[in-house]
Structure 1
Amino acid sequence: MAPTPTAVLKRLNPLPSAPPVAPPAQAHPLAIPVPEAVELGAPITTLERIHRTEGGPGAALRIARTAATDFKREFTATGTPAHVSTHDLVTLPYPTKFGLWRAPASPSPFLFITNRLVIVRWTDSDGRRRTLLWEPSDTGLGGNTPYFAALQARTPKPLLDTMVHFKATALERLAEVGIDTAEVDYVAFDHLHTQDVRHLIGTIKPQADISPNAPVAAWLPKAKLVVQRTELEAMRDLHPLQRPWYQPDTYVDLDPERILPIDGDRLLAPGVAIIRTPGHATGNQTLVLNTGTGVWALSENMIATECLTPEHSKIPGVKGWARTWGQEVIINANVLETIATQYNSCVVEKTLVDRSQRDSRFLQFFPTSELTARPVFSPGTSPTFVHGSLHHGT
């Protein structure tokens, strides 16, 4: 009798042995360009006190709640963007022990997440229309991330083809909604784990793997990468715990003119903000949107909205873990950089967002990689509630 997909997955180590991505001790940091921080949009001063707290993470958590409450009141008064829409890119496996931290009772080593592109459009005060792409992942090159490359090498190709479902590229999704690539002003990610942005914004030198004879031509000819400056700095000299999740060599030949580093929290437009939510990654950031249904937060700090209200989760183990240990959120923790800080960042997101109009038990936190039901492959990890998509405006 042939083994089931679940049985095959159980034999795969959810922490595969990756090929070395750097010498044990790097002699010199990578020469990744880190331009000076820019004043994009307007600074958000209300949240600054979260990151300047004296004392331990418990004190920081209390301040985070009050600061987020104050910011939400200010943010909702700014207005709303013209357009928000989400678009599926790929569904793929992800270790259960990372996505649901220590809470799940499922025997499956993997669950499944769907990564989505978010398109946001607004009009500046001078009348210019702006377009931001949040999480426009290059799903082809993303597979070269050391962790996923090692996992692919250990997985039989027929099974891999069944597990990974490519739905469309970011460019195809833009074409579907009638947005020209030259209209895109900004691209941004909540953090740069797995991301290779060379195709998106181009390079200044040839690249041996994808363009050996000429610099990479940008798919998005005018777009600039909006990133926390702290993450670029961290990528220059990664810690061993960080290396499996980054592709730092792909950032060395980016054009510095195409990078917009920011330091801190920025209001980009009415109802559009990027705020710091460190923990999952050094420079983690969250997209916050005000829409017709209220405030949303979008990041990968958690993989399901029920991770913000675990008392309502039907995923085996989640509700019990939260109740036993008094934890109000279930974080997505693949790199254990600063767990308590990530927890506090998740509480900021929880405080900011409004309740879902479809089911008030759950909140308008939209994971840009959202837990997806695949019961044959990963029993016991099907979500209780999914947003699936988000649409606002025209």
Structure 2
Amino acid sequence: MRFPWDGGDVADLPTIGAAVDTLPDLSRSDRPPGARLRIARTRAMAFRVEFAVTGTPDSVTTCPLVTLPYPTRFGLFRASRAIAPFLSITNRMLVIRWHDSDGRPRVLLFEPSDVERGRYTPYFDDLSRRTPGFVERRVVREHGTVLGHLARLGIRPDDVDYLMFDHLHTQDLRRWVGTTAHQDDLGAQPRAAFPRAKVIVQRDELAGMAELHPLQKPWYQPDAYRHVPPEAFLPIDGAVVLGPGVAVIKTPGHVFGNQSLVVNTSTGIWVSSENAVAAEALTPEHSGLPGVAAWARRWQQEVVLNANTIETTADQYNSIVLEKTLADPSRADPRFLQFFPSSELTGARTGPGTTPTFSHGHITHGVQPV
């Protein structure tokens, strides 16, 4: 399948931000994974110091989008002893606003999922076909739309500068950034809902999507990218500081080109990604979820992976340790860190044994709308 950036075009796309030299490339194959883990801890501590002095953004606001079922064996890997085959996760969008050094206002949307189109991801589409409608209506709850949340916040679509996802699993961007051709399934050639926005993405993920591995195919929608204009993307390599207290770091493993959002706030540093589905997955020794703490002790594991697709397991483990080293302790409960899962474990009556010991639910920083 051909994409707009095939044939080396991805190397010619523009880049963004100030590159970070402090953090290592955790996927470098010239070092064994144990050495990469040691280096990740050391370099993360150095980055914490330099990142904190960049300042803080004007505001960070959380916007819930959808709660849906997710296999327990994926979300809690091998650690859970819950009898429930499915747990619940809630996907949320973060709206981050800051001013550049020249005074220009910026708006970044992190995880602005088009929930309606995300349903056509092969895995979720198959699950929906096998689930009775009355069951699906009970376990899937939509909380709001991207455009609806922005209207509530007083943000116009053409105010949005950047869209960013930790990775492009399940994502269909056509309605957000437009297409170069008619789309049969949408009944039109979509105009960009965000006419000025660029998608910040790791160059590795764009390259990988041009030829998906079988491990990746259940989670991507490659047809949705066939006619997306290449200029909609801002590819980066590794870690980049985007603005005061706002950075993106490369955290490979869950996918080859995975990335995480890092924000500095009034409560300290937060990290957000889908590498794990709960804050307690980074400190499993404090988890009350059945089996998790015992599993971590027995296997000497300090983190629990979100493992729906383990493209490179050791890299994902190392990436979570990197996130763990960056994040500050929660002020609500210092046993847990300010790691905010982009899809967070959410208690549900349909999932006995999967109610989180601790959850964040939101990040709040700066002046919030009334």
Please give the range of the TM-score, normalised by the shorter of the 2 chains.
Answer: over 0.9
In structure 2, relative to structure 1, the CA distance for the partners of 1:192 and 1:49 (3 Å cut) is: closer
Runs (5+) with no aligned partner, structure 1: 1-28
Counterpart Cα distance in 2 of 1:129 and 1:51: 34
Secondary structure of 2:92's aligned partner: strand
Q: CA deviation at 1:71?
A: 0.4
Contact 1:198 1:216 in 2 (8 A): yes
Q: CA deviation at 1:53?
A: 6.8
1:14 maps to which residue? none
Secondary structure of 1:206's aligned partner: coil
Q: CA deviation at 1:261?
A: 1.1
Which of 340, 344, 357 aligns to 1:384? It is 357
Q: CA deviation at 1:30?
A: 2.7
What amino acid is the match of 2:233? I
Report percent identity of matched pairs. Answer: 55
Counterpart Cα distance in 2 of 1:38 and 1:264: 15
Runs (5+) with no aligned partner, structure 2: none
2:207 maps to which residue? 233
2:154 maps to which residue? 178
Question: How many corresponding residue pairs?
Answer: 363
Describe how 1:36-51 pairs up with structure 2 within 5 A: 36-48=12-24, 50-51=26-27
What amino acid is the match of 2:251? T
Mean Cα deviation higher: 131-140 or 221-230: 221-230
Counterpart Cα distance in 1 of 2:81 and 2:38: 30
Counterpart Cα distance in 2 of 1:291 and 1:331: 26
Q: CA deviation at 1:256?
A: 1.4
1:125 maps to which residue? 101
2:3 maps to which residue? 31
| 1:169 paired to 2:141 | no
What amino acid is the match of 2:149? R
1:68 maps to which residue? 44
Describe how 1:9-24 pairs up with structure 2 within 5 A: none
Q: CA deviation at 1:210?
A: 0.5
Q: TM-score, normalised by structure 2?
A: 0.96
2:243 maps to which residue? 269
2:134 maps to which residue? 158
1:371 maps to which residue? 345
Contact 2:26 2:251 in 1 (8 A): no
> CA-to-partner distance for each residue in 1:229-258, whole Å, 9 max, x for gaps?
111111111011110000011111011121
Counterpart Cα distance in 2 of 1:282 and 1:382: 30
> CA-to-partner distance for each residue in 1:87-128, whole Å, 9 max, x for gaps?
100000001000000000011110000000000011011111
| 1:115 paired to 2:87 | no
Counterpart Cα distance in 1 of 2:103 and 2:132: 53
1:349 maps to which residue? 323
> CA-to-partner distance for each residue in 1:253-290, whole Å, 9 max, x for gaps?
01112111111110001110000000001110000000
2:178 maps to which residue? 202
> CA-to-partner distance for each residue in 1:46-103, whole Å, 9 max, x for gaps?
0036454743111110001001011001100111011101110000000100000000
Secondary structure of 1:150's aligned partner: helix
Which of 334, 338, 354 aligns to 1:360? It is 334
Q: TM-score, normalised by structure 1?
A: 0.90
| 1:314 paired to 2:314 | no
| 1:278 paired to 2:278 | no
Q: CA deviation at 1:211?
A: 2.9
Contact 1:49 1:67 in 2 (8 A): no
What amino acid is the match of 1:144? Y
Secondary structure of 2:119's aligned partner: helix
| 1:148 paired to 2:124 | yes
Q: CA deviation at 1:38?
A: 3.1
Contact 1:30 1:249 in 2 (8 A): no
Which of 58, 63, 76 aligns to 1:82? It is 58
Counterpart Cα distance in 1 of 2:4 and 2:125: 22
Contact 2:26 2:318 in 1 (8 A): no
Counterpart Cα distance in 1 of 2:27 and 2:47: 14
1:328 maps to which residue? 302
What amino acid is the match of 1:246? Y
| 1:252 paired to 2:233 | no
Q: CA deviation at 1:170?
A: 0.5
What amino acid is the match of 1:209? D
